[in-house]
Structure 1
Amino acid sequence: MTASRPPNRLHRWLPAPLNTPPKEWLRAGVGALLGLFLAGWVTSLVFGPAIALHLLGPLAASAVLVFAVHSGPLAQPWPVVGSYALAGIIGLAMRQSCGPELWVAASALGVSILVMCLMRCLHPPGGGVAVSVVLADPGLTAMGEHLLEPVLLNAGVLVVVAILYNRCTGAAYPKGLASRKDLHHTQDPPPRERVGVRGEDLDQALEALGEFVDVSRDELEQIILATEQQALRRSLGGLTAASVMSRDVQFATPDMPLAQACKRLAGHHVKALPVLVNGELVGIVTVSDLLGPAMRPQRQGWRRLLGGEVLRLEQVMSRQVVSVDSRAPLDTLLPLLCERGLHCLPVLEAGRLVGVITQTDVIAGLQRQVLSQAKASDSRVPTL
């Protein structure tokens, strides 16, 4: 037992692995280079190189956050701009009242942290701004309260560059709150939240932790859901769409009359029909699509009766079809059927329809997997 302790203690000092691809490292490095250079260049043009170079240290630290950790709560625009403004004001006020002493700089840092937390704009480089302002050379302090102008200019230019660059390279910045779709317009939470992790659970866990966590609540929820998804995929043992799909596909054509489509739906006890043209999927028609024309005003019915008008599927079908590949893992289909409320998922191979998946198919596949796992666990011999 004692021989294993030194490796465990040594392991604590080893750096944790980065779960980001090298492509992301390159993207962040180029972005930080551009952001720091442009912000420093603009500040040097307006206020001179000496002022720009003196404020470059905190700006470089901010560039690391907004480009390399752009999704974190400490790297969002308000923490950057708000921390620079508050720390600049605190540092300038304490220097003018107490002088450029080391203890003054340390005090400015502590006060800045308290105020940034109070204003919900905690940003580590903001502490560097407070110290830089307190320890500024006489040439900079001669600017008086105008010293805040280059500080805010630095923050503003860096944020603008970060927004443009991150979005151009496919990174969502600033990070907004995840929108929740309410398909049924009821008071019930989404199906996944009824049996899984809820927002209140995360709030209580973060409050119980009682520490600074450089991850937002929405990000933490996404990480937990992604982890559950990976665990579910492993437990399903490689089941794919091809494993559970129905291969005898009942389909329709765009010129099929609505009455015939209704008979086909009722005859096969299905809620949706893929619409094909020469084997190519061009749309899908559901029961709700067919109910629309039936619920129109009565005068429309008289017009059809007298004029002999026959409505066809091409007039009511949905042309935006959510389809899946036959190799798609079963766990990726569950959110489509549960949360998006889809009743039928066409399955494609090389762009051709090869099957459909309904909620019944998925339930049957899950039942088969649960039974196989239960049988395997019962056959195990307990070890002594």
Structure 2
Amino acid sequence: MRLMLRRLLPEASPVSSHERLRSAIGALLGVLATGFIGALAMGSATVAPALIAPMGASAVLLFAVPSSPLAQPWSILCGNTISALVGVTVALLVQNLFLASALAIGFAILAMMTLRCLHPPSGAIALTAVLGGPVIHDLGYSFVLWPVAGNSLAILLVALVFNNMTGRPYPRSILPSSASHGTSDPPPAQRLGFTSRDLDEVLKDYDQVFDIERDDLEEILRRTELRSYRRRAGHLDCGAVMSRDVVAVAPDTSLKEAHKQMRIHHIKALPVTNDQAEVVGIVTQTDFLDKAAWTTGRPVIGFAQRLRLVLSGATAPNDTVKDIMTTPVKTVTPDAPLADAIIMFAEQGLHYLPVTRSNNKLAGILSQSDVLAAMLADRATAQEAAQVPFGMS
């Protein structure tokens, strides 16, 4: 009996009580606001309904699964509108309700998939156009504009405001990609494990619609691979590998002096610290190349960077480190597993990570070279231990 129930109940991602409550309140506000807007827009001079039932199904998608490709603005606006057009047209041409209903659903799905605006509640809209009775039939093609387009736009606007205010970026946020080097090489995280072509071939084999964006699916799988590596990685932490004798600069250090320190110490990155030794940024060779110009052999702030600083509201540039440093800066703690740093390097295209204590004071710096050397040393140690006969030390 228990096995049968498990088969009947779908496996769902773990969702917190907070998220359940957030989704429910969002749907409540969305449908309520849509109804009020409809009532105000239509007044009492029309028989058109202020709110139609399919908006309840749209609310489920917009507020409970806002990251779904089926819940994006194009899906709801185009899906609902095109399905209403199909439904009204079929209702005018076909008198038999059963046949008209079937044709409306079939053609609506075909149109939505062709236009890449699949939205399940739109199927109910196509049926409403056929089965809605005299009130809906008398509207004719006006049904497309109101209530369908009007309701869709109203609930979409509520979803845009509510989801973003409650920490659910909407429309679907674009996941940050690692920095590209402008070459044909794939990003570091894609050079191990499966490739994008592998995923495309598997999806082609399935030949069906999945309720998740293809890029989101790839990102989830790659992050799963990296988390799996972290679970299987060794015992090393960042503090055991980091460089401790760190050359750092202050925000008001001149660009000329910062570049000089890089050349003297043969390094490519300098943590930027304030008077309390707290990390406030990092300046790298890339910052010098992208944000500084060279005049008479010394780095200065170029026009493009000056304009960016002015538009961002920063203080007037004076050719110091604060004018080109990267801030806020990604950091790790000394006790963080080395695998965490590897994941940050791979996912975010970083080359250096300042290591900070709990009070944000600089403790060291970690580079990709440090991590590589530590991994090789740890592997060699493991191989040597495996070759020692049992009972010998």
Q: TM class, shorter-chain normalised? A: 0.7 to 0.9
For 1:21-36, what aligned pairs fall within 5 Å after superposition?
21-36=16-31
Corresponding residue for residue 250 of structure 1: 247
Corresponding residue for residue 68 of structure 1: 64
On the 8 A contact 1:347/1:354 being kept in 2, the answer is yes
Corresponding residue for residue 209 of structure 2: 212
SS at match of 1:333: helix
Unpaired segments of 5 or more residues in structure 2? Answer: 300-317
Larger Rg: 1
Question: Separation in 2 of the partners of 1:316 and 1:35?
Answer: 45
Corresponding residue for residue 18 of structure 1: 13
Question: Separation in 1 of the partners of 2:376 and 2:201?
Answer: 34
- Normalising by structure 1, we get a TM-score of 0.81
Question: Separation in 1 of the partners of 2:271 and 2:79?
Answer: 55
Unpaired segments of 5 or more residues in structure 1? Answer: 1-5, 302-310
Mean alpha-carbon deviation: is it higher for 347-356 or for 289-298? 289-298
Corresponding residue for residue 196 of structure 2: 199
Q: Percent identity?
A: 35
Counterpart of 1:280 (choices 274, 278, 295) is 278
Question: Separation in 2 of the partners of 1:159 and 1:13?
Answer: 33
Corresponding residue for residue 120 of structure 1: 116
Aligned length: 366
Corresponding residue for residue 151 of structure 1: 148
Question: Separation in 2 of the partners of 1:287 and 1:82?
Answer: 47
For 1:61-210, what aligned pairs fall within 5 Å after superposition?
61-99=57-95, 101-148=97-144, 149-175=146-172, 177-178=174-175, 180=177, 182-210=179-207
Question: Separation in 1 of the partners of 2:373 and 2:260?
Answer: 26
Deviations 1:135-186 (A, max 9, x none): 1121232222212221111111111111111111121211255464554333
Shift of 1:377: 6.8
* RMSD of aligned Cα (Å): 3.5
Counterpart of 1:45 (choices 40, 46, 57) is 40
Deviations 1:205-246 (A, max 9, x none): 211111221111111012112211220110124543223222
- Normalising by structure 2, we get a TM-score of 0.80
Letter in 2 for 1:30: I
Corresponding residue for residue 320 of structure 1: 327
On the 8 A contact 2:351/2:368 being kept in 1, the answer is yes
Mean alpha-carbon deviation: is it higher for 80-89 or for 245-254? 245-254
User: Is residue 222 from structure 1 mapped to residue 219 from structure 2 by the alignment?
Assistant: yes
Question: Separation in 2 of the partners of 1:128 and 1:292?
Answer: 53
Deviations 1:305-331 (A, max 9, x none): xxxxxx996577626262423143333
Corresponding residue for residue 369 of structure 2: 360
SS at match of 2:364: strand
SS at match of 1:296: strand
Corresponding residue for residue 302 of structure 2: none
Letter in 2 for 1:281: V
Question: Separation in 2 of the partners of 1:359 and 1:289?
Answer: 18
Question: Separation in 1 of the partners of 2:123 and 2:178?
Answer: 39
SS at match of 1:346: strand
Q: 1:130 to 1:278 in 2, by over 3 A?
A: closer
SS at match of 2:168: coil
Letter in 2 for 1:29: A
On the 8 A contact 2:331/2:354 being kept in 1, the answer is yes
